[in-house]
Amino acid sequence: MNALLKKEMRLSASILSYLFISFAVMTLLPGYPILCGVFFITLGIFQSFQSAREANDIVFSALLPIAKRDVVKGKYLFSILIELSGVFIMAVLTLVRMTLLSDSQIYRQNALMNANPFFLGMTLLLFGVFNLIFIGGFFKTAYKFSGPFVTYIILAFLLVGVAEALHHIPGLEALNAFGFDHFGLQMLLLAGGALMFILLTWLSYNKATVSFEKIDL
């Protein structure tokens, strides 16, 4: 499996998948919906799927002496690696905003989402949705991906809009906590996001393996 992941990273991946991880730095932007950083990271992964399709990478991988489900597993492992790399950078920058920059007026006066554990939980949820909708949708045919990606875009930005609006609802102000305020609630929300990421990715992977087994390449 390590060899298959190396193959994905070195042969199948688009350079944009690696470059777009840098959009995690959007976590530091004030006056901007910072969850959009997730979209750009997934856009980088999309570029790898596009490059792989044009190079007939799926057919090449299926011809290797491996099970068809391992072809699917390789794509998921690569995508999760990119996603978690972005989450790691976002988590580090979120910690910076929660400590060194917690009293910065440029963030205190920002009406949009603050960088806190709830933000990280939503980040993981969005990545889970991407895995479910786009990657799972791709493996229904192992060729078509525009439809699943458009569906993901619509759903992702709806979730971003909801996440940005929630803390403006009376009684939900704690969602936009600064520093370590409401830390217990914030960590619970982060745990919920992590759980949803695992669940959605697991469901997507299992569904994708079943779909790919049925495809006659």
CA nearest to 140, candidates 58, 56, 41: 58
Q: Domain residues for 44?
A: 2-210
How far are the Cα atoms of 125, 130, 148 from residue 141, in angstroms, in the given order? 25, 17, 11
**Per-residue model confidence (pLDDT) at position 217:** 61
In a domain, 216, yes or no: no
In-domain check, residue 58: yes
Q: What is the pLDDT of residues 25-52, one digit of tens each?
A: 999 999 899 999 999 999 999 999 999 8
Of 43, 39, 130, the closest CA to residue 90 belongs to: 39
Q: Based on the structure, what is the number of domains in the chain?
A: 1
Q: With respect to residue 73, please indicate whether it lies within any of the assigned structural domains.
A: yes
Q: What percent of the chain has pLDDT above 90?
A: 75
**pLDDT, tens digit, 9 for 90 and up, residues 82-102:** 999 999 999 999 999 999 998
Kindly state whether residue 157 falls inside one of the protein's structural domains. Answer: yes
Give the model's pLDDT for residue 153: 97
Sign of CA dihedral 9, 132, 148, 159: negative
pTM over cut 0.85: yes
Cβ-contact 37, 54 below 8 angstroms = no
Q: If you average pLDDT over residues 63-79, what whole number do you get?
A: 88
Give pLDDT, residue 53: 85
Instruction: Report the chain's mean pLDDT, rounded to a whole number.
Output: 93
Evaluate if residue 65 carries a pLDDT over 90.
Answer: no
Asked whether residue 135 is assigned to any structural domain, the reply reads yes
Establish if 50 belongs to a structural domain. yes
Amino acid present at 44: G
Closest CA to 162 of 42, 41, 33: 33
Residue 215 forms part of a structural domain: no
Q: Does a structural domain hold residue 45?
A: yes
The contacts of residue 9 (CB under 8 Å, 6+ apart) are 78, 81
